[in-house]
Structure 1
């Protein structure tokens, strides 16, 4: 059952220690409004799965600044100075994962697939283990990634990757209908559908909400069976899309 609600209502029951999958790529398709509301709550200790950690003070950067994230599973974190500081100072645990593998782990979680074999990462610390997950306060490595199971599949060595599921998923869509069916705009389609699938409770901030049946079947990028809560953005919120790297002639 999909319900329309405010951002505050949508995040009101996210508990301390929850796991979250969050959509977006850089600043494209980031659920900024819902993340802003979550950053205002007195909860944290989150394990967050997302392609990247936003920028300083934007997207997941809000939760980093408020100290609400305990652990990240991500594929790229190079644009956030506060993230780097917390990781290197031992305040934050990080599991770096190849981008395609991260996407497939979330898709698998949403599809009921417990794991899969891939050649990506074979012969590296991704498969062999030893990647620093957490540093101590003196800069020493205190936790490293474990080795993963490998096997030969169709004559090619592969590594076993496990699915990702989360307590809540938070994503942004261009259009939602009242049944929860979603359409994403261009590259904002990036990891949003996959993150949405992986959450047991999916929260969507939508730039526009239409009645059930107004989205043509071929225009639906994610079916409403995955969606539980919809936050309809105001025109100003929908238009507020920061530029990651401004270029001027």
Structure 2
């Protein structure tokens, strides 16, 4: 099989997300919640959506690897360094509560580098997507033309709009033995702060609605799709420690609309930074 074109990969990823939505939406607000061993929610919709995506990838990209939240990893064929990373429902807690602020995340990694990402919000109907070199695009509703989007203009921290999903691992609430990041200081330092759930906040950074979005406890399937979208929209992405290396596997993500703001956010959040 010849190497797929990046545009073909992106078109496939969008189809995968649309098929996942067909499995998810009939179960929205009609689905029982189960609990995993790690204390997080899972539903039949999570599993059904990931199964559909995997079936399509097996047919369309049989040589590629797959890593998903619900069914683990399928290795790629020898010599193939491509891996699809799937979160069928990012924000299962919101889905379980009947809130529309959940999404489907689909990413493609090459040599562990995120090169393609789709953030689809099935209950809202909008999709943000990007691939390396192709820009970041936003489709407001199914069937509408997509428009290219960019992050907000540069702004100092004092004028920034910022968000995170919840205060885990912060100076507000932190597990024993962990060093908390300084969420309280960030909240006091920005113009406006909101708790915006999961992938929704990162899509808002892509469209210039938020200047900053971050989460501190993440898995590869939570991160991988977000990075190409933010970066192709002109933004900056790193882990909480400022690293960009193997970003999908660094367990946290900070995104900002410009490099100077990003540096200021990292200085504010990290407890080992001085000068404040």
TM-score bucket (shorter structure):
under 0.3
Normalization by structure 1: what TM-score? 0.25
Higher normalized contact order (CA 8 Å, seq sep 6+, divided by chain length): 1
Alignment TM-score, normalising by the size of structure 2: 0.23
Q: Which has the larger helix fraction?
A: 2
